[in-house]
């Protein structure tokens, strides 16, 4: 009999924040990748919040930014073969420094930065970020 492991994971958010032809990213060490990855700002929902609140918190925590406008782009299962993680994707428009920067989680050490939008797919390291950017591009090109 085949046994499959299922990882129970909270829902999460990913932020596509583009300004002046650059994409906001975070670089952080990931154990599974055995090194530093380049990802979109993202994170799991806290127990008492929905995706609309979580996406704002994550952008402030990880990048010290806030946005004037937010657009929900869609959602998808991260890895449904073995995880319950459901990812909500948002676009952040009109970036400015956050009035109050949030605190990183205890296990987070990251650096925020920007990459050129035209080479972003070559720079992103994880499937969630690549899928989120694809959603953004598909909506933009409509």
Burial of 7 (0-12, 13-18, 19+ CB in 10 A): exposed
Contact 25, 59 (CB under 8 A): no
The catalytically annotated residue of 91, 106, 111, 138 is 106
Active-site residue, 53 included? no
Angle at the Cα of 132 from the Cα atoms of 78 and 43, rounded to 5 degrees: 60
Catalytic residues, which ones?
A: 106
């Amino acid at each position: 009999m085949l046994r499959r492991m299922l990882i129970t994971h909270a829902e999460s958010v990913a932020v596509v924040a583009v300004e002046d032809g650059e994409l906001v990213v975070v670089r952080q060490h990931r154990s599974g990748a055995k090194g530093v990855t380049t990802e979109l700002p993202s994170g799991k929902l806290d127990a008492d919040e929905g995706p609309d609140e979580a996406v704002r918190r994550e952008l402030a925590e990880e990048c010290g930014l806030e946005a004037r406008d937010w657009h929900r782009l869609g959602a998808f299962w991260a890895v449904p073969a073995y995880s319950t993680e459901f990812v909500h994707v948002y676009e952040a428009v009109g970036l400015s420094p956050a009035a109050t920067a949030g605190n990183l989680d205890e296990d987070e050490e990251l650096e925020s930065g920007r990459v050129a939008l035209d080479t972003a797919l070559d720079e992103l390291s994880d499937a969630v970020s690549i899928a989120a950017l694809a959603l953004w591009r598909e909506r933009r090109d409509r």
